Amino acid sequence: MHMADALLSPAVGTTLWAGSVAVGGYASRRLRERIDDRAIPLMGVLGAFIFAAQMINFTIPGTGSSGHLGGGMILAIFLGPHAGFLVMASVLTVQALFFADGGLLALGCNIWNLGIYPCYLAYPLLYKPLAGGSRSLGRILAASLASAAAALQLGAFSVVVETLLSGKSELPFGAFALLMQPIHLAIGIVEGLVTAGVIGYVQGARPELLEGMAAARPLGAEVSLKKVVATFAVLAILTGGALSWFASTHPDGLEWSVRKVTAGLGLKEAEEGIAPVLKGIQEWTALLPDYRFKPKGGRPGKAAPWPEREAGTSLAGIIGAAIVLGVILLIGFGIRSCRRRES
């Protein structure tokens, strides 16, 4: 559900940029009050894992569409809403800058849609009341399904509203919403199942980790994070380096909906204003656009067979996960340093 710049007007894009930056500042201040030094590596490897997991699109049967894990619920459940939001914002920023996944003008919208709804609405209002610190797998599954589906529905509807406010007359509100909401409900159900599986693993390996986060308190010295951190680090490498070959070749839910509404024509990119400037910046910063090597001569290569065993995809997965890890560690230790200077 990464929005492209063609979906937005500069006014809407910059407004959501400002809103997302403001929430990021609020999250940083709140995290500074209670950051747990030992949880910073967990923030990093979870961000790397979510980056890699988002590379794997899964097919939605019978639709010709696909979806991918958002990951906001997993981050909020493990890290709390403030750290979860900052990690998600870091993932989306790395994707946009270095892999041209989502536009730079649209980055504020993507952070809002994929970060704020799961971390600040679905997690505290749905997941915590339904599951909380419970060890019941049934309650965890129900809470994961409900919260993931709600977060995706809110995000999908926001995409529709943001394009409406941008004056994209090619995307009539009713038709666009009727396509976006059901397809993202299906994606949300899959994400809920994955979320429940991940939480179930940690519940078995380190239940006190989830209980500590649910109670918003620092982890005790007796809680070892080594096994969990190592597991997610390995998962990030395997997912980005190899499992990404098996990503669905179908368009994701947003792209599919736009194609349906526009009869396959898509939307024309702006040729004037801030959008082409930002596109030029993105073309310069993107190391591996669309998670693959840049085509020679600027021309797209031939369609590869599935699964696509491309070295560029594996390299993008590993490099991207490493960049996300580094960015989040810098943020985490930077917040810790600010707290120590204030104390």
Question: What DSSP string describes 169-206?
Answer: TTS-HHHHHHHHHHHHHHHHHHHHHHHHHHHHHHHHH-
List own/partner pairs for 308-316 with CB under 8 A and 24 or more apart.
308/245, 308/247, 308/249, 309/245, 310/245, 312/288, 313/55, 313/244, 313/245, 314/240, 314/241, 314/242, 314/244, 314/245, 315/288, 316/55, 316/99, 316/240, 316/244, 316/287, 316/288, 316/291, 316/292
34-38, 116-120, 188-192, 198-202: which has the minimum mean pLDDT? 34-38
Query: How far apart (Å, rounded) are the C-alpha atoms in residues 310 and 330?
Result: 31
User: pLDDT tier at 300 (50, 70, 90 boundaries)?
Assistant: very low
User: Strand pairing partners for 58?
Assistant: 67
pLDDT, position 277: 93
Alpha-carbon dihedral 72, 77, 82, 87, rounded to 10 degrees: -50
Does residue 191 have a pLDDT over 90?
Answer: yes
* Beta strands 65-67; 58-60: pairing state: antiparallel
Tally of CB atoms within 10 A around 36 = 21
- 223 compared with 260, residue with greater pLDDT: 260
What pLDDT does residue 217 have? 53
Q: Compute how many other C-beta atoms are within 10 angstroms of the C-beta atom of residue 222.
A: 6
Question: Per-residue pLDDT averaged across 313-334, rounded?
Answer: 94
> Mutual orientation of helices 81-99 and 311-342 as an angle, nearest 10°?
140
Residues 148, 121 contacting (CB under 8 angstroms): no
pLDDT tier for residue 272 given thresholds of 50, 70 and 90? confident
Average pLDDT over residues 200-214: 70
pLDDT over 60 (residue 134): yes
pLDDT top residue among 229 and 303: 229
- Residue in 341, 335, 339 with CA at minimum distance from that of residue 79: 335
- Mean pLDDT is lowest, of 56-65, 266-275, 289-298, for 289-298
**Which pLDDT score is estimated for 336?**
84
Proportion of the chain above pLDDT 90, given as a percent: 65
Interatomic CA distance for residues 37 and 33, integer angstroms: 12
Domains of the chain with CATH codes: 5-293+320-342 (1.10.1760.20)
Residue 136 neighbours by CB distance under 10 Å? 11
User: pLDDT class for 226, splitting at 50, 70, 90?
Assistant: confident
- Quickly count helices (H) and strands (E) in the chain: 13, 2
pTM of the model: 0.92
Read off the tokens for 34.
């209670």
* Amino acid type, 273: G
**Token pair 């609020």 in the structure block, residue:** 26
Question: Comparing 158-162, 223-227, 278-282, which segment has the lowest mean pLDDT?
Answer: 223-227
